[in-house]
């Protein structure tokens, strides 16, 4: 083995891993993120259809799952930035540039949406509560109506933009699988783990 290969890569190669497949942790974190985002969107769009007691349960579930989503995103970013957990790029040229940009955009949008969600809850004069187990109090008290209205607008726009970009991202993954017939989707599916 050449001397200039980093230690973590060398260990992986020695273990029979060529670094072209996502590991179990990355795959679980990706699909947890996708599921949570879809559930969050669905809850936010449908709670108005229900009577107050149900709506309140849906809203507090949304906030609790929002905290879980924040933890999953932080875990994903830490895991991804730790040496040895990155995967080898299997695309090139404009497709690589486009998919990297979409992934970066998704991370930025998700972080922005989480910040807006926390900010809005605090602006309502509530703490951010995790299924009644613990709560994070706001650094500020209830904000006035225009400020709450602005946070509502931004959070709602953010939700639609995330769902749209994630939709394009999912279509891209399906295009890889069914048209280009490469391993881009297969290596992110449960069971693909090295
Ligand atoms: C990607 C993740 C998320 C999506 C797609 C999403 C989506 C939505 C949607 C569609 C609404 C309804 C908007 C409206 O009524 O105008 C909403 C409301 C809300 N979201 Fe999120 N949200 C996400 C994450 C979060 C997070 C992390 C938190 C904070 C913990 C949060 C807190 C709230 C709050 C407090 C409301 C208002 C509830 C109320 O009407 O009192 N959201 N969200
Ligand atoms: C709300 C839904 C979704 C979100 C927020 C999301 C987000 C992301 C992000 C941020 C990445 C970059 C991962 C990394 O750090 O390396 C990624 C990768 C990936 N996602 Fe999603 N995703 C979603 C849904 C989906 C769906 C439905 C599919 C399949 C149809 C999919 C297929 C993939 C694949 C194949 C990769 C790896 C791409 C590569 O290796 O270049 N995602 N996703």
Radius of gyration of the chain measured on its C-alpha atoms:
20
Provide the pLDDT for residue 8: 53
Indicate which CATH number applies to the domain containing 33: 1.20.950.20
Q: Is residue 13 part of a domain?
A: no
User: Angle 145-175/24-46 helices, nearest 10 degrees?
Assistant: 130
Separation CA 158–CA 8 (nearest Å): 38
Summary mean pLDDT of the chain: 90
Q: Is residue 63 part of a domain?
A: yes
Do the domain assignments include residue 112? yes
The answer to whether position 160 is within a domain reads yes
Domain assignment present for 79: yes
Domain membership of residue 9 (yes or no) is no
Q: Is the CB of residue 122 below 6 angstroms from any atom belonging to ligand 1?
A: no
138: closest CA among 154, 155, 120, 152? Answer: 120
3-state helix/strand/coil string of 45-111: HHHHHCCHHHHHHHHHHHHHHHHHHHHHHHHHHHHHHCCCCCCCCCCCHHHHHHHHHHHHHHHHHHH
Please state the domain count of the chain: 1
Residue 129 Cα, ligand 1 centroid: separation in angstroms? 13
Q: What pLDDT, on the 0 to 100 scale, is given for residue 92?
A: 81
38 in any annotated domain = yes
How many angstroms is it from 80 CA to the middle of ligand 2? 13
Q: What pLDDT was estimated at residue 7?
A: 55
The residue with tokens 């992986």 is 12
- The Å distance, Cα 24 to ligand 1 centre, comes to 29
Tens-place pLDDT, residues 52-62: 999 999 999 99
Under a CB-based contact definition with an 8 Å cutoff, are residues 32 and 110 in contact?
A: no
Q: Percent of the chain beyond pLDDT 70?
A: 88
Q: How confident is the model at residue 13 (pLDDT cuts 50, 70, 90)?
A: very low
Residue 2 pLDDT exceeds 80: no
- CA of 154: how far to CAs of 93, 101, 126, 158, in Å? 34, 22, 19, 6
Ligand 2 close to Cβ of residue 30 (< 6 A) = yes
Distance of CA 10 to the CA centre of its chain: 30
Q: Which atom of ligand 2 is nearest to the CA of 100?
A: 41
Please indicate whether residue 87 or residue 101 has the higher confidence score (pLDDT).
101
**Domain presence at residue 146:** yes
Residue 1 has pLDDT above 70, yes or no: no
pLDDT of residue 16: 43
Least confident of 27-41, 145-159, 176-190: 176-190
Distance CA 158, CA 117 (A): 10
For the ranges 11-15, 76-80, 124-128, 152-156, which has the lowest average pLDDT?
11-15
Segments forming the whole domain that contains residue 123: 20-188
pTM beyond 0.75: the answer is yes
Partners of residue 136 on adjacent β-strands: 128
């Amino acid at each position: 083995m050449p001397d200039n290969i980093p230690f973590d890569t060398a260990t992986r190669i020695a273990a029979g891993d060529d670094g072209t497949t996502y590991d179990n942790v990355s795959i679980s974190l990706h699909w947890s993120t996708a599921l949570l985002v879809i559930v969050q969107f669905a809850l936010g769009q449908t709670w108005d259809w229900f009577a107050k007691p149900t709506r309140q349960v849906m809203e507090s579930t949304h906030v609790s799952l929002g905290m879980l989503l924040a933890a999953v995103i932080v875990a994903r970013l830490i895991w991804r930035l730790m040496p040895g957990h990155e995967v080898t790029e299997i695309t090139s040229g404009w497709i690589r540039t486009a998919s990297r940009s979409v992934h970066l955009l998704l991370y930025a949008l998700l972080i922005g949406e989480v910040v807006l969600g926390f900010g809005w809850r605090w602006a309502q004069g509530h703490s951010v509560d995790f299924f009644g187990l613990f709560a994070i109090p706001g650094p500020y008290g209830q904000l006035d109506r225009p400020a709450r209205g602005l946070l509502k607008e931004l959070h709602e726009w953010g939700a639609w933009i995330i769902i749209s970009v994630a939709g394009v991202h999912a279509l891209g993954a399906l295009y890889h699988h069914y048209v280009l017939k490469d391993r881009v989707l297969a290596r992110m599916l449960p069971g693909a783990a090295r």
